[in-house]
Amino acid sequence: MKLTAEQIQSNWEIFLDNIKTHIPGNRGEQLTNFYKRYEERIILMPAAHKKEYHSAFPGGYVDHVNRVVRCALKQYELWKEEGCDVTTFTIEELVFSAINHDLGKMGDKDHEAYIPQTDQWRRDKLGEDYMFNKALPFSSVPDRGLFLLQQHDIKYTFNEMIAIQTHDGLYDAANEKYLKAFMPEQKPRTSLPFILHQADMMAARIEFEIEWLPKFSKNSVDTPKKNYTLNSNIKSSKTKALNSMSSPGLKNMLDSL
């Protein structure tokens, strides 16, 4: 998918507006200043380095985060309607977690995490328009995001920390300690992590559909070529096998294959 310059610009305005609307006071200002400081980098960032992953195109990151914020607010209404105790977290915590859930994807303050792929073969054959920046020491996305926030003096609540940490749900085995607990006292005391995970999954799935389903439509899928090699192999190996077969029953059975 390709976003126009206007769409990229408009997404960025929506991104900043979400902070303005939902993160009040000093923390909102700090967050706005943080994102404005890294604006040039974040505004064009992809959400992933491979085409097969979601939103791996310029501006894909902000587009994804905005979708997660929208989905999170809609999921909130659904959970509330179904009886979820929404007094255990605030809308501010929900939106803060959604805005920052993938922040670790930006890299650290000096290095971008995704840089343009320099290997043309990998671009053509593997669909990698970006590659990981090897100058960046490894960290999980949630760990790096939380580190960046504290490094820039942006405070987060306990609820926000757990939600950002576990936003990949059980797709990340590291989250089992929070999400696979059997003892009631060890389960999260709020549904915020589940709401954020659902919103993220929903957004990523929809981004996959936008990018890939048209490619799988009838007129777009390549017609498989007749595999002459396989056919001729079967023929010759079958003849060879049949000639050396002593059991007539088995010979008949193989012959009919």
By CB under 5 A, is residue 93 in contact with Fe ion? no
> Whose Cβ is closer to Fe ion: residue 84's or residue 98's?
98
- Window of 85-93, 98-106, 179-187, 233-241 that interacts with Fe ion by CB under 5 A: 98-106
Query: Given the complex with Fe ion, which of 66 and 117 has the nearer CB atom?
Result: 66
Sign of CA dihedral 68, 70, 73, 78: negative
End-to-end CA distance of the chain: 46
Residues 159-218 that bind Fe ion (CB under 5 A): 200
Instruction: Please report how close the Cβ of residue 138 comes to Fe ion at its closest, in angstroms.
Output: 19
Q: Decide: residue 36, CB within 10 A, 0-12 exposed, 13-18 middle, 19+ buried.
A: exposed
Question: Quick check: 206 and 70 in contact, CB under 8 A?
Answer: no
Q: Which is nearer to Fe ion, 97 or 191 (CB)?
A: 97
Q: State the nearest-atom distance from the C-beta of 164 to Fe ion, in Å.
A: 10
Residue 102 within binding range of Fe ion, rule CB under 5 A = yes
- Contacting residues for 115 by C-beta, under 8 A, at least 6 apart: 130, 131, 132, 133
Q: Binding residues for Fe ion, how many (CB under 5 A)?
A: 2
The nearest distance, CB 216 to Fe ion, in angstroms, is: 23
Helix (H) / strand (E) containing 202: helix 192-212
Closest CA to 60 of 76, 44, 80: 44
Site for Fe ion in 104-163 (CB under 5 A): none
| Closer residue to Fe ion, CB minimum distance, 102 or 112 | 102
- Residues lying near Fe ion in the complex (CB under 5 A): 102, 200
